[in-house]
Chain A
Amino acid sequence: MRAVAWLGVVALVVLAHHYDRSGVLDALPALVAGLVGAMFALTLRRGRTPLIARAIAAIDGAELLSDAGVARYARRLTGIWAVYQFALAGAAALLALHAHGWLALPLHTTPAAFGLLWLPVALALLFIGEFAVRPWLLPQAPRHNLFGFFVKLIRCWPQLLRDAPAQLHWSARREGGGRFAMRLLIAIGLRLGRPVARILLYPITLYFFFRRGPERRASRAFLSRAFGKPASTAAVLRHLHCYAATILDRAFLLARSTRGFDIRIYGLDQVETQIAPGRGVLLLGAHIGSFEALRVLADARSDLRVRFVMDRGQTPALTELLHALNPAVAQMVIDVRGDGADIALAMRDAAQDGALIGVLGDRARPGEATRAADFLGAPAQFPVAPYLIASALELPVVLSFGLYRGGNRYDVYFETLAERIVIPRAERAARLAEWTQRYAARLQHYTQLDPYNWFNLYDFWHRPAADRVVRDASLGGAV
């Protein structure tokens, strides 16, 4: 998109130069320098992040800007660049006037030569000059080599044009336009059919790719980690497409159950052997693939009661739409936004009903107690509440993951994590470390079966420190 636009501009300039007799083009160097100067200057307004600060955040990480010296340097350098560009624009303007005989100056260069030669040289001089003196002016800045630094700067250029938002906890990110498009798509799909909606998934994937920078970057970072090599743009697109496809399918699974889907179940016996009257089973899933595909269970065993512990507040509009499709499912939801004790007691009631209780064990809500466990080569925080609840209610825990395998196919896996989890209070820390690690290891296994099913599209390994709360076993929210 952007490349096409630039090609267009270049073609326009070349054509204009060819046919230009009036000399309007002579104003171009002044115009370009002035616009770029304005771009720098505008980021100095109150409430904006100075352009150089954005570059530092993109290249060296935003943490560096918490150093007051670095932030001041970034602001001043942005100002210097703005003034420098304005000065060059002024010089170019004078030159253009001179070339048309409106001003008689002792100059021996033309606007074209200025734009093509002197302007770039002047910019390079400031760039290289600042780069050379930076170690003295700002000793705390990380060192780069000049060429590598330039390449990185070019790479992150589009990012600099947007005011980088402060890193928010994923749950604080609002539902974006991409999700609005998803809701529209679901409405279309339910009327015109899944094939029509699936064609529309492609433009939505592209839209998501261009508009949702944080998710795009999180996807790339995750895939690079999962594959052990830098992920291509094609892989990121495939990832986002897979994400959108499963959201679309949630609507079909809710509205029409598993009809029309090819769902293969592995390990159903693992669940069936754990079912006992008046006891309940904890189905522990994750934000991979489609937990909705577990609906296949309800088809296979209509006598089973199912409850889902989920956060209705995360994507309220989408959740509302999906639940409108199947009000019975809405009844099955235990909303985690409630009071901690109420959630725990609702799970107790469900267990006493002998229900299957679906819980996702990979994401912690702000304020929820977590333990670090090794996941894909680095420690990540996992919530501890599922294991404590399983221990208190004496529930068997069965891992449940529904992976999307393209087309209309889902593979649903059940695997017993524990027939019984016992966590004596005195051994809490050690036992929880052990159970979160066991879960993380299995989650890693299923994630590696198909990394495109990973839908935690935020930096899973580095949450803002504020939500790693030390309180031992809170379900989030005060009791």
Chain B
Amino acid sequence: MIHSAPRVAARRQFRMHQMNTQTPAERELAELIVDSLNLPDRQAADIAPEAALFGGELGLDSIDALELSLAISKRYGVSLRSDAGDNKRAFSSLRALAAHIQQQRSE
């Protein structure tokens, strides 16, 4: 099947939109991040779901990871384990973190 050019563009646009739009759960987590880390001049809505949380534009560090883990366990009752080894992945982006929390809660 041959796609017409406008349809391809529309689909790409839709995918871009999906990548840049927070789900409700991600939005809630983004608000928790901004509140608990007390990030100045940063809106929860501005955190791109797939952008790097640490070292990247947001520039969080290991102390932030600690504070965030405390806030997450308070809010969601989920403890990010220190020995799990998948923290790097869990903390890689807003989307990954939200998915990780979701998965832990359902276990």
Contacts and interface: CB of A to CB of B under 8 A. Distances in A.
Contacts of B61: 340, 369, 471-475, 479
A345 B63 contact: no
A426 interface: yes
- The dominant DSSP class at the A interface is helix
A317 interface: no
Contacts of B81: 345
A336 to B, nearest CB: 11
B66 A348 contact: yes
A62 interface: no
Interface residues of A, number: 28
Nearest to A340: B62
Contacts of A344: 62-63, 65-66, 69, 82
Given A343-B62, A389-B63, 17 more contacts: A339-B62, A339-B87, A340-B61, A341-B54, A341-B66, A341-B88, A344-B82, A345-B65, A345-B87, A347-B66, A348-B70, A369-B61, A392-B70, A425-B38, A474-B63, A475-B61, A478-B55
B51 interface: no
Lowest 6 CB-CB distances: which A-B pairs, in order?
Answer: A340-B62, A345-B82, A344-B66, A341-B65, A346-B82, A473-B63
A37 to B, nearest CB: 56
A75 B86 CA distance: 54
A426 B38 contact: yes
Interface string A335-361: 000011111111111000000000000
A385 B83 contact: no
A479 B62 contact: yes
A290 to B, nearest CB: 28
A272 to B, nearest CB: 26
A475 B63 contact: yes
B44 interface: no
Interface string A441-479: 000000000000000000000000000000111110111
Contacts of B91: 341, 479
Contacts of B96: none
Interface in B65-97: 65-67, 69-70, 80-83, 85, 87-88, 91
A346 B83 contact: yes
A183 B25 CA distance: 56
Contact of A475 (B62, B83, B87): B62
A473 B37 CA distance: 13
B53 to A, nearest CB: 9
Interface residues of B, number: 24
Contacts of A477: 62
Interface string A367-390: 001000000000000000100110
Given A424-B38, A471-B61, A479-B61, A393 B66 contact: yes
Interface in B5-58: 37-40, 54-55
Contacts of B38: 424-426
Contacts of B82: 342-346, 348-349
6 contacts: A341-B87, A345-B65, A346-B83, A424-B38, A475-B63, A479-B60
A389 B55 contact: no
Interface string A187-209: 00000000000000000000000
Interface string A425-446: 1100000000000000000000
Given A348-B82, A478-B55, A479-B55, A392 B66 contact: yes
A474 B66 contact: no
A474 B67 CA distance: 13
B58 to A, nearest CB: 12
B93 to A, nearest CB: 13
B62 A473 contact: yes
Contacts of B37: 425
A104 B65 CA distance: 88
A478 B54 contact: yes
Contacts of A475: 61-63
